[in-house]
Each structure stands twice: as structure tokens, then as C-alpha cells.
Chain A
Amino acid sequence: MRFIHTADLHLGAAPDKDKPWGPARADAVRQSLPRLVELCNQESVDLLLIAGDLFHRPPTEAELKETDYLFSQLTLTKVVLIAGNHDFLRPGCAMAEHVFPENVFFISSPDPETVRFPQWNLEVTGFSYYSEQLRQDLTKDLVCPKDDKRHILMLHGGDAEHLPFKLGALQELGWDYIALGHIHKPSISADGRAAMPGSPEPLDKTETGPHGFYEGSLTNGAFSLSWRNFSNFEYTDLKINLTPDTRFAALESLLKKRLKPDGSEVCRLFLSGRRDPDADFDRDALSRLGFVSEVIDESQPDFPWEDWAARPAHDILARLTAALTPSEDDPEAALKQKALVYAAEALLSTVKRPGEEVLR
């Protein structure tokens, strides 16, 4: 028996809406389900697990009809589906009332329910969200039944506001495989018996790294699992360390070389290090270079802090440096560092060089 475990397709989401590559992202998200259906057919996948957030929003009847069509195209595959925090249900809402095609098993109950597949000696248990948040850990009593069948537990959540379970505790409940959803970054437990596939398409500039799903098989009662890339697109973080000698043009040409022209990668640019205090780095110009979603400037002007600190104790810059240089474990280190730069910049902006005034 071959299966695919995915989650968080977020159909209807439109990442980077205000960016030039936004429409392409929306298309990719929309096409993730048809692509998955095609893949299931091509590879004769028996079971498709969708662990919540198939939709980005509680779906309308029209949207459900669209997915019905796609699910009905599945020749062999059975689908088990739960609702997550994004497509949470209400009694009587379109999705709760919806009659899915016969091959789709939608567990629409807020309490755990089980779908049985005697042909594979397999049972899948799960439940759906009925609110946007679920602060209770409802998994504590979800003990795996003791019988000769294999059991999969499908869950959506894993953070403080969405089913705050602990993976370790969860694994002690005895399930053969725990199919998770909600966190968009893929991860897998050490023993490979619990996995979070992440979203098949990245949905936000912070969702860096590869995106895809887990595929697996159940042979002679034993699960095996492997990762598979699915998205042809990636968000990345690009970190550039500035020195006082870094010129804007050099930075620009470096970026031009680094950025992919085909749009298969969009990066967040992090500037760090010490920059020339007089240099003017135009963050907007960097954003306009192409596939740059955001420029985060964490660089510091290259002031001679050490020299200042070494000045006589009553010197204003020495005092300033002493007052605002954060100690090692200062919780306000970032704030103080920022304030120090601001104060120094403001002071230095008023500097008159010797004789300057006389000659003016």
C-alpha cells in the first residue's frame, strides 16, 4: 500500500500579493492539488492523507465543487481529509454539510473518528477544527487501539494556539504513524513514525527551504517513509556581511549575480556587519533588483566605538558608549545598541570641525 502524506495546501492563498511575482505564486498554490492528483494517478498511490488546511479559508460551495472535480479524477486513490485552523468548520457550514466524492473520507467531527480500510488492515483516526484556535491539547487520551491492525493518527497543530501537543508525549500513545499538519516547515521524528510534511508550496517569504510532502508505504505491517520535493520554487534568506569598504555598486552587482532571473527563488536580504557611516545604502533600490521580497538592514555604521570608549570618562561620546553598550546577557541589548547608534549619529550630525565655523 502506497500513501502520500501532505497538509496545508492552503488553496485560495495568494502569497506576496503585492509583488510582481505574486500571481505566479497564487497559480502555484492553486495548481498544487491538480498536480498532486496527477501524481497520485501516475504512481498508483493508494491513499492520500491531507492533515488539515486544504483550504486557506473556510471554503464556499463553489470551491468545494472544484476540489470535488479534482478528487473525482483520482482513479485509485482514497483520500482522508481533516479540517484545520484555516478551514475550520461550523455546524452547518458548507464544508461540514458537503458530500464529498465516494473516494474522499472527510472526518468532519470535532471528536476523534476513525476511517477503516480493511483492504489494507489499516485505520486512520483524526478530527477537525471547529474554531480558529484550539488551545487545549486534546491528544492526551488518544491512545492507539490495541489490535492487529495498523493505525494512523492525523493531527493538525503543534503550536501554543493550535493543539499544543508535545511530540514525545504523542509518540508514547502507540500510533504506528502520526500524520501531522499545520507547521509549514517539514520535519520528521527521529524514528520516522511521526512527520510534519509542511506545505507543498511555500506560502510566505519566511518559509524558506524545500517544500514537498512525505510519501510512504505499508508493507507487511511496516511503515517506511521518505521525503519528496514538490515545489519548483523556494524562498531563501540571503545574508550579506558589510564592511566599511563595501560600496553600494559592489553590493548591487553581487546581488545581480546571485539572484536567479527565472523567479524560481525569491530572497530576503539581510545586511549585517559594519558599514561606512557616510555611505548611503538605498534599501528600496535593492528591493527593486528583482526577486527580493524584503531588505532587512541589521548593519551598523562603523563608528570607532573602541576609541570612544577609551576617551576620558567625562567625554560625552565616552559616556554615551558606556551608558548604552549592552552587557553580554542584557535583555535589552538590541534596543540599547540601536539607541547608541541613533544617539551617536545624532551627535555626529551636529559636529563642526575645527575652524569650520570661523571660515564660514
Chain B
Amino acid sequence: MKIRRCSIYQFGKLKEKDLTFRDGITLIQGPNESGKTTLHTAVAALLFGVERSRGRAAARDTYKANLPWTEPEIYGGALDWERDGRRIHVVRDLAKTPPKSYISETKDGSTRDIKESEQPLPDSLTPYLFYNTLSFKQTGSGLESGMADELRSHIINLQGSGNESMNVAAALAELKARRREVQKNLREEAGQEAAALERDLRELERAGFSTLPDGWSDAKIALEKQDEIARGLTAERDRHIREISRRKKILNELQIEDRQELEEDCEKADVLVKQLEVFEESYAPKMAAPGLVKALSYLMLPVMLLGFWLILNGLQLRHYFGAAAGGVILFLSMLVSARYSRRQDALDAQKHNTELLTRLLAKYVPEHEARGDLAEARELKDYLERIRQLFTDIDEQEENIRTGTEPLVEALAKREHLTRRMESELSARVRREQWETRVRTALDRREQLEPVLRENERLKEELAALDLARTTLTQLSTGVYSDFGAPLTEEASKIFSEITGGRYEGVRISDKLEICAVQDHKLVAPAALSGGTMQQLYFAFRLAIIRLLWPDEPMPLFFDDAFVYYDKERLEALLKWLHENYKGQVFLFTCQNREGELMEAAGIPFERIDL
């Protein structure tokens, strides 16, 4: 296929251009904004026609983008091209809606109009393929790995018949991103929680709790009663203890410690009172003059002696009268003496008693000034008896405590037993309530989890679908490779080796579907290649694709400032290679003098058109 002539009436910024092209290399040079890319687009537009997109794409479609700035009623041009000895003349008036085309064919000297579909375009040359194979743009501004992806997509898309340019790598990335998004909403922990809940519920079903026995309320009353009894007994005991301690405190204050001594003193006081009473009754009234009694008792001795003498004398003198008188005297004096001696004894005893009373009083009531009389003795006796009563009371209380202990212990034990029973019943009740709460909580939680689990199920289906989509796409793209890859790699290897001057042996497509260079029998990943080498690799693949797509026909190539990243040596090698090895037309669009100068220096023939 050869492009022979391009006449532009108006297209974008281009106006009234008429360019003819020969075989070999054509250098189309012009500064930036001079319309190189526009010319490039115009060739495609005239070749394929322009469809007006609708909707969203319209804003940036070819038609709108290249609408002339002035005089939009003149929009279009003509293109002459050759193939298989046929020369086609295409005129396209893009100002019309829809655009009008006039196509004619000149063959063997005669010209006739033909339809759009009658054009002898190379097999499967679509606008898409034109842009993605024949047209080389400036690429590789540091996005070398992205370029490899693009190349891979090209290979896959080249197999397609549609006009879409689909990027499998991007599609896979899109699916992966979507998967991540879905995965994020998946709540795996809900599944674990639900499983744990099921286990809990089964456990709760099995779990038992002792039932509340009948007569629960009776037991409660019994406990209350027992509690009251125990409390009563305890209170009584406490009262006894309090009483004992009160009495002991009194005894302590009185400093009475020896009970034995007190008992004895008490006895003494009792005897004392009795003796004093007797004395008071029997002697005291007759004891008007104790001194006289004494005197009389002393006086009785000589009388007795006189009586005795008279007796003796009378007997001796046989004066029996005298003796009898003496006897009477003696008898009488003895009588008197005995009487008065008794009184004397009573007085002595009285004295002794008074002393005793005084001693006792001094012992128990030391601050009291003792009189030693009967009233005092009585008071003392009462007092001591009261004290003795304290001891007796203590004895009694202690006895009470002793007898009260057994029932108390019994009552307490009974109460303890009842309490324990109540407690166990209560705890059964609590356990039952706990069971109810746990069951209800578990069931409620399970109900809450249900929608989450359902949503999880749905999300898992989504994930499975996304995974299937991914594996299928990967397999399909790999399949495309395996169909197309081997000859492609072979061809690309040849070209790559040639344009790199043998520095690389070729290219391979790795297991990871990466396009790699081969150097010293080793694969070099695209990431490890320099930008320039990557560009060469890209070129090699593109050209290989073209050769595989149209094996029997040299197709025109369009390089739109495609060599910006090539250094001088690489560019020269490439241009030389094109000159020597490529049979089709080569259009170099450039804004630099570099290509022209290089080709001149290297003796590569080329046609130059200045825009």
C-alpha cells in the first residue's frame, strides 16, 4: 500500500496543502504547531472517513477536534493511494452532515466511481489498527513498564476485529480493585462469631440448672422463724452476759475479790447481829451500872472466904450452926458471884463483838465512822448479804447461759442449714435467669448476624464471580499470546537484534506475560532496560506485529515525533535499518533537524517536505 498524494482543503489548522509522496523515507518537517499531527490525522481521516460520535465521546472526536477554525463550510480533502496496481482517489467533504465521500478507481487507464466498501484496503486495516500499529507516536516518557502493558494489550487487541482498544492489564487491575472493594465489605469475623454462637446455644441447650423445689415459700418462712428464734436466744444470752458483767463491775469497784472471805464475813455479821440482839435484849436493860457489878463481884470474894471460914470453924468447933451459916453465906455469895460473873462475860463478849463490828465496818465501809451498835451491825449485814447476792446472781446468770447455749447452738445450726438451702435455691434461680439471659442474648445476636451473614454470602458470590472473571481474562490473554506469541517473538527478536546492532539477542515473553529483552542468554525485565532500549524494544514489537498482520505487503509507517528519546546512535541505527530493511513508505514527522542531518550524513536517501 502506498500513499501517493494528500490534498487538504481545510482540516484543523491546515489549509490548502497539496502534498505528493514517493516511495522510501519522507521527512515532514515543521516547527511545533505547524500541523504535523494534524496532517497525520488527516491522512487517516481521508483514508477511513470520519464518523461523528454521539454523546459523551463527541466532544473530543476526530470530527470536532479538526473542524477548521475559519470557514467551517470548507472541511475535508482528497487522498490518492495505490494497492495491487489500483489507484484510488478519495474525496471527502466533511462539512456536510453526514460527511460526503466521492471515491473513484483508476485501473489500466480507466476511471470509475466505486463505493466505500469496494476500496481495496488491506485485510483488517481498521482505524484502530492504523493508530495502533502503523502510527508511532512519541512514547516512553519514563513510563516504560506501562509501555510494556500497552504493548501486551496491543497484541491482544490486534487479534480483535472491533475498533475498541482494550487493555487487558488495565481490565485485570480494575477487577482487582473491584475485588478489594468487595473484600473490604466482607465481615469474616461475623462467620466466626456465628459459629461460636451456635456452639454456645448447643451448650446452653444441654446446660442444666437445679429446679426450684416445691415449698420454696415455706422454706423462706421457716428460715425467717428460725432466724427469729436464734436472734431471741442470742439476745437473752447477751443480756445475761451484760448482767454478769454489770455485777462483776460493781464487785470490782468495791474491790471484793475473795468470795470465800465475803461469805465468812457475811456469816460473822449474821452471828454478830444475833449476839448483839441477845445482848441488847437480855443484858443491856440490867446493865445500869456495870461498875457496881464489878465491885460487887470483887466484894463477893471476902464474903465467900468468910462463909468458908465459918464452915471450917463451925465444923471444927462443932459449932454446926455457925458452919451452916457459913455454908449459907458461901452459897449465897457464890450465887451472887456466879450471876455477876455471867454478866461480866456478857459484857466481855459485847466488847469483843463491838470490836469485831468495828473491824468489819472498817474493812467494808472504811470511810464510815463506826459506832459499833446493833443498827450498824444490821446495816452491815444487809450490805454484805446484798453483795453476796451479787455472787449468787452471777452464778444464776452463768447457769442460765450454760443452759441457754445448747438451744442457741441448735438454732444457729438450723438457721445456717436453712440459709444454705435458701442460698443454693437462690443461686439456682440466678442461674436460671442467667441461662435465660444468655440464651436470649445469643439468639438476639444471631438474629443480628443473620443479615450480615447473608450479605457475606452475597459478597462471597461477588468475589467468586470477580475471581472467575480475572482467571478467565488472564487465560484468554495468555491464549492469545500462545496463538500469536511465538511468531511474533521470533520476528521481534530479529528486528530488535538488528536495530541494537546485536547487543541484544532478542526478546521473550516471560511466564508472567512480561516482555523481556534477551542479553547473554538471560532475560532482562523491562524495568531493568534503559528508556532508549525500551523504545527500541517497543519498535521491534510494533514492526513485528505489522509484519505478521500484513506479511506480504509493505505498509506505510508514520512516525510522529517518535524519536525524541532516541540518542544519536540509536536513531541512526534505526533509520539505517528502515532504509535497508523496510520496503514500505516511511513518513517521519519531526520538528527537529536531527533526522534530516543524520540521514544526509549517513547517505540515506529521503524526500523532504516542509510544512
Which A positions have Cβ atoms within 8 angstroms of B?
57-58, 60, 86, 88, 90-94, 97, 130-132, 311-312, 314-317, 319-320, 323-324, 334-336, 338-340, 342-343, 346-360
Contacts and interface: CB of A to CB of B under 8 A. Distances in A.
Given A319-B476, A350-B167, A351-B165, A343 B175 contact: yes
B165 A352 contact: yes
A342 B436 contact: no
A135 B469 CA distance: 40
B137 A92 contact: no
Interface stretch (B155-163, B258-266, B302-310, B409-417): B155-163
A346 B176 CA distance: 10
B164 A335 contact: no
Given A324-B468, A348-B166, A359-B65, A132 B131 contact: no
Contacts of B172: 346
A320 B212 contact: no
Contact of A350 (B166, B432, B472): B166
Interface stretch (B55-63, B241-249, B598-606): B55-63
Given A58-B436, A353-B57, A336 B468 contact: yes
Given A88-B205, A348-B166, A311 B171 contact: no
Interface string B466-484: 1111101101110110010
Contacts of A97: 211-212
Nearest to B560: A358
A52 to B, nearest CB: 15
B428 interface: yes
Contacts of A347: 166, 168, 171, 473
A87 to B, nearest CB: 10
A128 B396 CA distance: 68
A107 B428 CA distance: 24
B161 A315 contact: yes
B432 to A, nearest CB: 6
B419 interface: no
B462 A338 contact: yes
5 smallest A-B Cβ distances: which pairs?
A: A92-B211, A338-B465, A339-B468, A343-B469, A346-B171
Contacts of B475: 323
B131 A357 contact: yes
B178 interface: yes
Nearest to A88: B205
Label chain B's interface by main secondary structure: helix
A355 B433 CA distance: 76
Interface stretch (B221-229, B340-348, B439-447, B534-542): B439-447
B428 A354 contact: no
B472 A343 contact: yes
5 contacts: A86-B443, A92-B210, A316-B480, A342-B466, A356-B61
B183 interface: no
Interface string B183-218: 000000000000000000110010111111000000
Contacts of A353: 53, 57, 61, 163-165
B236 to A, nearest CB: 41
Nearest to B163: A354
A105 to B, nearest CB: 21
Nearest to B172: A346
A316 B436 CA distance: 61
B127 interface: yes
Residue among B127, B161, B428, B433 having the largest count of chain A Cβ atoms under 10 Å: B161
Contact of B436 (A60, A91, A319, A343): A60
B440 A312 contact: no
A92 B428 contact: yes
B62 A320 contact: no
Contacts of A88: 205
B160 A311 contact: yes
A316 B159 contact: yes
Given A94-B436, A338-B462, A360-B60, A316 B157 contact: yes
Given A94-B436, A343-B470, A347-B473, 7 more contacts: A90-B207, A93-B436, A97-B211, A316-B160, A316-B166, A350-B166, A353-B61
B477 A316 contact: yes
Contacts of B57: 353, 356
Given A347-B166, A355-B44, A316 B464 contact: no
B41 interface: yes
B428 to A, nearest CB: 7
A188 B82 CA distance: 83
A340 B469 contact: yes
A300 to B, nearest CB: 13
A338 B168 contact: no
Contacts of A356: 57, 60-61
B525 to A, nearest CB: 23
A343 B171 contact: yes
A314 B480 contact: yes
B297 interface: no
A323 B211 contact: no
Residue among A312, A335, A346, A349 having the largest count of chain B Cβ atoms under 10 Å: A346
Contacts of B163: 353-354
Contact of A339 (B135, B137, B170, B465): B465
Contact of B440 (A58, A320, A338, A359): A58
A360 B477 CA distance: 27
A131 B211 contact: no
A335 B41 contact: no
Nearest to B56: A278
Given A92-B212, A342-B175, A343-B175, A335 B461 contact: yes
A117 to B, nearest CB: 28
A293 to B, nearest CB: 11
B435 interface: yes
A160 to B, nearest CB: 15
Contact of B469 (A57, A339, A351): A339
A58 B476 contact: no
Contacts of A312: 160-161
B331 interface: no
Contacts of A338: 461-462, 465, 468-469
Contacts of B81: none
